Structure 1
């Protein structure tokens, strides 16, 4: 049952009547849920619900979207909104002094919005004085700085507007690497030296130390022209582009070698500052030229303190002779404090509040009209989108998708695109101009890029575009790169697409391709036709030769038996190859055409029963079950979004019949009695990105929110969960995990402050801390209790697994330390009998440990089939199987009958990339996974069950044309012949 809306405050004046009108309009429309309204309008649920809450006046764009979704009269509601705005602010919204006509002032805004602060903005850059001083001191001592921080933590701003001005007499070179970092570096150096970039690029490619010599040449030239400069300051922003955009490993390594040598080589005249997203730290450790320098060069950018946030809000306004309303300052500080990646959202919200200022005051009403810290960015983006006609909206979609680099085990990032890659049509030009004017995009003479990656996270419409078909976007991106290479090599025919790549590219929508990409595909198709014609001519010659050889058939009668056997062998091998190729195609089809994919996979398995065809069949059945959020049932046959669990942190009780999913501002409970048709139950307040866990009986749910508060809910009635208590954990770092002892009386929390805390939750209304466990040398990540409740296992970034005796949780003690992992330990699971521990690590492996006779322990099997970080591990309740998942998108099932020699059971592939979590649902082997994009999939590995269930998932039998495409030259035998 959806929770009812809060009563309106009759003393709210005009806002009471406005909100009451919106609620009445929703009643007349049949009370659609706010999730349904959000899907229709592309505004967030919180934004729409607050519009009818009566606490603040929503923007006109949000109001009209709400009215449109409920079937109301937009012209009438525009007048109602204007009257309410007049009554609330005392301004005339119709004459240009209200919120919708706020952009008339030509004054320079004191806030940068989504864009990073530049060196010219240093006078308005506040709040990072302590960090800036530390970075300046670091650069003076060590000359090389690698600055790590989350997206939106302010890395670019602190370098450009904080550190660079601290070296006023030092010339600077600021650039981003792009897809060709050596070439970009050569162009920038050549421009400073007044020489051609070609020789500089050739020199850097042949010898990275050329960078150091070019710096000396630049400085020597400046000495002749004016006051002497002793050194050059080089800032490489968005360094993660060397991984997301640059595909040449050797160029990447040479670029890094050049930077490090320029800063640390003998007689260095260069200071180098590199800004890189923290989730690319592991990628940096794989660069030989950088890994040795990292221990002494890296510095983190943490979140701003409350005092620093207040300075960042108030001081720029004061410099512009503006005031910040105290209620606004309190609200902004509370909204942004402790929130990862909040700085660009805060800056954008302040910029929009400044545009809605009243006189020289920034007000809370203006901030709320802008949409708040969460809604301001999506509101700006939606206003930009709503102002476009249909043709330009399609152009906007194509443009923004082209400007996103799809993550490979990491979050999506922005992509800097050369202008020549874009179509030169009037729609694209208009969209680019309007998006740049709205500060959503940044354009210069040669390139276009999204102003900040926060737009990718916070604009629901862009997120929906990206999620619709990530595989298609990857194929489109590969086509773009291939067309670029083709043109750079003077249209060399050897670089054209052929075979499978050409067939996949032809499936891309033609309207989304640029003229250059269409020319590349046309040339590829022409080359393919020529090749086919050559093959036909060769076949005709072979047939004539075969006719001549037929005369010799009489002489071959004795060899007929052998020939028949050889033909049978060739036929069998051909059919096997066709089946294996069809199995691969079925996996590719499964996210978009699940019914067809199941039939192709089933046909391939019946043709040749191998591990590869078995895994393909299991893949198609699993992926077709539950996918990410979607607007409604389509040709893929997926259930609508309100029947689809989604979120980032799952929790499952021992019986596996209820699923809790933390999804930002709430936790949603689902009935998983039939995992193929989950049924939504109740909701509770959320925990942000914090962990959650059930007690074993499933009656109580625990969670720790992003502020470190321990929360407990009574979920005995999952339709109506009830908050029991909340209290601060007093951890000084982020709380990564929470675990509950099987008896439900004790809980444990693991934190980035390197400690574990034990809690008495026997009275859920009054949780008490029992003990604090110390000993790990770095962040504590997973914690898990043993099945008997007497031990607790913990994993850490110090690479160790520790096992604690918690028989008396008031006096817990260390029993054993398991060493052997070469990197962070991210996941742990006990076997049901408590004799074995399974751990997953950043070193791309999972390990099995024999802990049956503690403190003695030993390593058992090593599970090493992943190619990236192992993020989750789980044992089935019977203990005979286990599952490991990872950033590589692979779901590996293992037979644990002999734990000294675990055997691969199934190799499954998640089509949406990174898998973050895995949980078993019940004893029959069903389990679920959660991706980095918060979608949920249900899996099982029983091939007998798969063969029984397969045709139940089919909505129409495979046609003859489809069969011929995937099983050429094989007799048409539809695996599910009847219609469903």
Structure 2
């Protein structure tokens, strides 16, 4: 239809000015103001953004396309598609490059030649320069101390320096534009390389060698030799050895490393030492440093920057959930600069670019959408080819030879240059790579591509690497595929024919030919072997033994590697992780495999639902808990049978007209309400969950409806919308629902609404930071009550406890606030929960109201104990989602938590976990009752008493209060009713735990002059010993625990006594061992027989039996443990070792019979199993090790357990021997099932879905047939 020549015509639009002119003409013809347009478009808060479009100050960004189309509709545009074409035409017409200097680098890093434009890192550059000069003994100006110029072949010094930081923290730019430029300015010789460039390490004395992106040693080499991980280790070791030699020869070697590869680096002892002694962390920029990075390049280029833009950037950079925000900020500034129309850098230009979170995605998406369908497919395959998808680390970019790109030719060249023009790709003479890894997480489309076919990508990547290795090894037939691996590769090739390179095709054909040849030879050989069977019998025995040895060695190596894969997958794919760990254990009982199986019992487990194809926004359980509803932006609502929460079964899929953002069941579970982006609320009859049927569509809102909530009686429905209103609907008759009230007065869109359990109060939250409370006792005439003030940014969610006494609210100020709403007209703040690193978007209370779950933009869900809202405990952190956690919902029994995320997954977490959370500080002491029922965990000022054998999982019974500082020691009396604790407040306290729910304080002893470090009861129960940092051990008789009798003070060492233990000896009576800072173990005889509890008072210091001294530990002793038979004493050290002393011939003839090494830091816990066969040790390195110690000549580690987030502070065996308890600086206690058979059965009961043949082929070699472990 032709338009009036005098009217607005999108066909006339050629540039931004024309766009603004025609759009304004359209608005004026409709007779609307800008504010009216915004109001009618359903986004009144966006009137300034929309105003910029009419004024020519900005164009709609890709993210605002939907809003732009609504604006066109409101203004009466006859042909919306023609206007959209015009808008895209103008966007394409913008210059991709501007003339003159470029003040910002975008995703590209800074090189040394860009030093003049590198701002914000002056202090860190100076610190790094100082660290380099301190290593080689030169001054900062390049001279030796005393003024001699650095030169010659034999300068003093040299060494290794580690620069570590998160991806995107700016390490490469710091090293190149900061350190390299500063060193060259001072005349120093500097070489920069990366591992992937295969450099020859030949640094001379006095030279500085910078190895950037050191993580490539773990990714590039993995691709070159992925068939057997052991085969890449020599290559890695040789490279590291070359660096170490260069450092030893006088060069300074500076290594830049991504923080998430830190654990890989620690495998190399020389680098581990450098990490401890020569490390410069690259943390986030301060606010002033960010300001410099934003403003100074523009100022140098002669550009103005709006003050409002600077403040907006500082606020958004500080709020970003990723520690590596710098490349996103840099690209946003670069894109804003490209948008400059002569006005400088403005908020409008920044918003048009898409902002920090959206600029990278907007640039990539814009280019992608401009491509033809054929070239879009090329782009998808290109980017997947440029990402290293890893099973044991984060995904990383990979540098690829141009000759190895899929579908080379003019079309691919065009795609490459389109993305390179926006600095999203970097093209060298013969290689291609993604410019920065920030793109991997910032571009949702790429993340979706990676997530959609991860197993196939892993399989394809290994297939390509194996084919290349086969070619490199000159077609070695032993490298060819067979069995399950060959079948998986053939299937992959059929599904991805365009990704099969000629080398891969040759490899596949050769594998097939070899299998056919071997089959023919097998039949031919059988006949010959029949004739030779007698002659071959003897030789066969020998060969069989050799073969078994080779197979065993191969299985052990594969078991270790597979266990590593399992641990790496634990957060993202718990089911596959657990099954791979079990497969590793079934293959060979290596310490790594057994550790993987046992570790699965001490980390929260989640069952993943992966049916949604877009961000999952909502989760809701029916009141009976049998059905779970999930919903998302893929326009579906899905119903699941979760009677067995570990094996959810799909029941039905309901198609919605648009993305679904909220779901809620009526209290009787028969009606489901959903809401979403189409401005409507829909009611569904789900009485038959297999056949949901629509009942009604509720219309009236003019923007997306973010939340729906039923009142407790099921008669009212509340809706909260981005249109700045909340609605109350009478749904007594769901088929004839009617809106009976509208709540207004908000200046921004609403984000949630929740009813109180008594149905008389409604709480709403909104983006204006307000929490409003309404009296809806008369729902047709709601009455406003006092608002809740305290949040300093947008409030996104709210939840009531089941008794209505407590309300929780959360928002973008990263806090959860707790309110006492027993008297809604007099609300009272009672607590604040902090810990999330970004906005809180969802909240839910468990039945009972003591536990609160939260979901956040920081990609975690957290479970909080709010029994005492004023003093909330540290939460259990549930990690695994790859993006925002939009929804949390408890099952009615409180045993499961469902979470939904932007990563499209829904996870059902089993909260009957062996992780005991809720402590308010690091756990520093543990004690288990003799019957194995109770566990006491001590932290700052308090100790928690847990029932660890309760049928539904461990439950807290009570909290001990009285200490005024950290509780560093705890021990149970042999009778199990009396507990002793010691702390940094210099006291020892006795507690009556006859009723563990109501513990009673009995006595306080304050004899020590420094911290109490250890307490122990004698085996008869009448003696109590307490050790102290003052170098003494006090002994008390506690026959009457209300009135302990002090007997004596033992001493004689130099420095703190950190560990004590009683030893029962048939020949020497009852001994007390003590050790500490001086590294000496002393044993005093405190009774003549092991069963006597009467100590000599005081011991005769001249008596030769008092004390015996054991020397042989290297450094301070941190813990002592005694075997149940009293014959072995374990002394754990600050050096990470444990020594076993044989006391069979008495303490004076004790000797070290074994030294246990392997921990990388101090050992902080040691305990023997009740049968004495196993010793458990915990360390500041974060690991727990289980050692078989029944034969001192063959002491070996049988399992390494991991799961704590940080250091292990304390450890104890649970009597009965099936579990070890550990306490960590992560504030949790973890119960580790040390029975591998029991742990394996638990894995098979929980893990779902089962491992698939494709997953099996991606992780195991081709000659192992598919054999699911469960």
TM-score category of the 2 structures, normalised to the smaller one: 0.5 to 0.7
Secondary structure at 1:310 match in 2: helix
The equivalent residue for 1:543 is 527
The equivalent residue for 1:32 is none
Q: Report the Cα distance in structure 2 between the residues aligned to 1:893 and 1:81, rounded to whole angstroms.
A: 70
Answer whether contact 1:415 1:450 (CA < 8 A) is retained.
yes
Q: 1:256-315 deviations in whole A, cap 9, x for unaligned?
A: 146436753xxxxxx765433345556556657767777886544343222221111111
Answer whether contact 2:1137 2:1158 (CA < 8 A) is retained.
yes
Where do 1:544-583 residues align within 5 Å?
546=530
Match among 113, 116, 122 for residue 120 of structure 1: 113
Residue 300 of structure 2 corresponds to residue 319 of structure 1: yes
Q: Report the Cα distance in structure 1 between the residues aligned to 2:270 and 2:562, rounded to whole angstroms.
A: 42
The equivalent residue for 1:161 is 177
Answer whether contact 1:598 1:620 (CA < 8 A) is retained.
no
The equivalent residue for 1:377 is 360
Q: 1:60 to 1:940 in 2, by over 3 A?
A: farther
Q: 1:785 to 1:440 in 2, by over 3 A?
A: farther
The equivalent residue for 1:415 is 398
Answer whether contact 1:842 1:868 (CA < 8 A) is retained.
no
Where do 1:612-651 residues align within 5 Å?
626-627=606-607, 630-632=610-612
Answer whether contact 1:405 1:415 (CA < 8 A) is retained.
yes
Residue 666 of structure 2 corresponds to residue 666 of structure 1: no
Q: Report the Cα distance in structure 2 between the residues aligned to 1:291 and 1:805, rounded to whole angstroms.
A: 31
More strand by share: 2
Q: Report the Cα distance in structure 2 between the residues aligned to 1:842 and 1:115, rounded to whole angstroms.
A: 45
Residue 335 of structure 2 corresponds to residue 345 of structure 1: no
Unpaired segments ≥5 residues, structure 1: 1-9, 24-55, 68-73, 85-91, 186-207, 214-230, 265-270, 557-561, 652-659, 674-679, 707-714, 722-741, 751-755, 763-769, 774-781, 795-801, 807-811, 831-837, 850-859
Q: 1:543-564 deviations in whole A, cap 9, x for unaligned?
A: 26637x89xx9xx9xxxxx99x
Match among 296, 300, 304 for residue 285 of structure 2: 304
The equivalent residue for 2:123 is 130
Q: 1:324 to 1:953 in 2, by over 3 A?
A: closer
Where do 1:736-747 residues align within 5 Å?
none
Q: Report the Cα distance in structure 1 between the residues aligned to 2:333 and 2:1201, rounded to whole angstroms.
A: 46
Residue 198 of structure 2 corresponds to residue 181 of structure 1: yes
Deviation, structure 1 residue 445: 0.7
Q: 1:169-208 deviations in whole A, cap 9, x for unaligned?
A: 859765432346335x6xxxxxxxxxxxxxxxxxxxxxx5
Where do 1:22-61 residues align within 5 Å?
60-61=61-62
Q: 1:21-46 deviations in whole A, cap 9, x for unaligned?
A: 999xxxxxxxxxxxxxxxxxxxxxxx
The equivalent residue for 1:657 is none
The equivalent residue for 1:458 is 442
Deviation, structure 1 residue 448: 1.8
Q: 1:473 to 1:927 in 2, by over 3 A?
A: farther
Match among 122, 139, 157 for residue 141 of structure 1: 139
Q: Report the Cα distance in structure 1 between the residues aligned to 2:272 and 2:513, rounded to whole angstroms.
A: 50
Q: Report the Cα distance in structure 1 between the residues aligned to 2:588 and 2:123, rounded to whole angstroms.
A: 64
Q: 1:288 to 1:599 in 2, by over 3 A?
A: closer
Q: 1:303 to 1:354 in 2, by over 3 A?
A: same
The equivalent residue for 1:425 is 408
The equivalent residue for 2:431 is 447
Q: Report the Cα distance in structure 2 between the residues aligned to 1:82 and 1:323, rounded to whole angstroms.
A: 35
Answer whether contact 2:874 2:917 (CA < 8 A) is retained.
no
Q: 1:527 to 1:103 in 2, by over 3 A?
A: closer
The equivalent residue for 1:150 is 165
Secondary structure at 2:606 match in 1: coil
Residue 251 of structure 2 corresponds to residue 251 of structure 1: no
Q: 1:888-918 deviations in whole A, cap 9, x for unaligned?
A: 99999999999xx9999989999xxx99899
Unpaired segments ≥5 residues, structure 2: 1-32, 47-56, 78-84, 143-157, 222-231, 615-627, 633-641, 647-813, 817-833, 878-887, 895-915, 925-937, 945-962, 973-978, 986-1010, 1016-1027, 1031-1055, 1059-1075, 1080-1112, 1122-1129, 1142-1151
The equivalent residue for 1:237 is 212
Q: 1:293-342 deviations in whole A, cap 9, x for unaligned?
A: 77886544343222221111111111122222222212322333497322
Match among 312, 315, 319 for residue 334 of structure 1: 315
Q: 1:295 to 1:342 in 2, by over 3 A?
A: same
Secondary structure at 1:149 match in 2: strand
Residue 213 of structure 2 corresponds to residue 212 of structure 1: no
Q: 1:703 to 1:493 in 2, by over 3 A?
A: same
Q: 1:645-687 deviations in whole A, cap 9, x for unaligned?
A: 9xxx9x9xxxxxxxx99685338668999xxxxxx98536677
Answer whether contact 2:1165 2:1179 (CA < 8 A) is retained.
no
Match among 834, 841, 854 for residue 683 of structure 1: 854
Query: 681-690 or 380-389, which moves further after superposition?
Result: 681-690
Q: 1:618 to 1:306 in 2, by over 3 A?
A: closer
Q: Report the Cα distance in structure 2 between the residues aligned to 1:517 and 1:374, rounded to whole angstroms.
A: 36
Secondary structure at 1:626 match in 2: strand
Secondary structure at 1:127 match in 2: coil
Q: 1:745-781 deviations in whole A, cap 9, x for unaligned?
A: 975699xxxxx9968999xxxxxxx9898xxxxxxxx
Answer whether contact 2:190 2:210 (CA < 8 A) is retained.
yes
Secondary structure at 2:403 match in 1: helix
Answer whether contact 1:661 1:669 (CA < 8 A) is retained.
no
Answer whether contact 1:594 1:620 (CA < 8 A) is retained.
no
Q: 1:473-503 deviations in whole A, cap 9, x for unaligned?
A: 44444443333344445x3334632446853
Answer whether contact 2:364 2:443 (CA < 8 A) is retained.
yes
More helix by share: 1
The equivalent residue for 1:205 is none
The equivalent residue for 2:418 is 434
Q: 1:405 to 1:868 in 2, by over 3 A?
A: farther
Q: Report the Cα distance in structure 2 between the residues aligned to 1:885 and 1:375, rounded to whole angstroms.
A: 44
TM-score of the superposition, structure 1-length normalised? 0.54
**Structure 1 vs Structure 2 CA RMSD:** 7.8
The equivalent residue for 2:257 is 276
Answer whether contact 2:854 2:862 (CA < 8 A) is retained.
no
Q: 1:335 to 1:927 in 2, by over 3 A?
A: farther
Pair member with larger Rg: 2
**Aligned residue pair count:** 749
Match among 339, 351, 355 for residue 356 of structure 1: 339
Secondary structure at 1:111 match in 2: coil
The equivalent residue for 1:197 is none
Q: 1:863-899 deviations in whole A, cap 9, x for unaligned?
A: 9899999999999xx999999999999999999999x
Where do 1:581-592 residues align within 5 Å?
none
Answer whether contact 1:352 1:370 (CA < 8 A) is retained.
yes
Deviation, structure 1 residue 805: 9.3
Q: Report the Cα distance in structure 1 between the residues aligned to 2:415 and 2:377, rounded to whole angstroms.
A: 10
Q: Report the Cα distance in structure 2 between the residues aligned to 1:376 and 1:106, rounded to whole angstroms.
A: 21
Q: Report the Cα distance in structure 2 between the residues aligned to 1:362 and 1:626, rounded to whole angstroms.
A: 46
Q: 1:293 to 1:100 in 2, by over 3 A?
A: same
Secondary structure at 1:141 match in 2: coil
Deviation, structure 1 residue 442: 1.2
Deviation, structure 1 residue 110: 1.3
The equivalent residue for 2:64 is 63
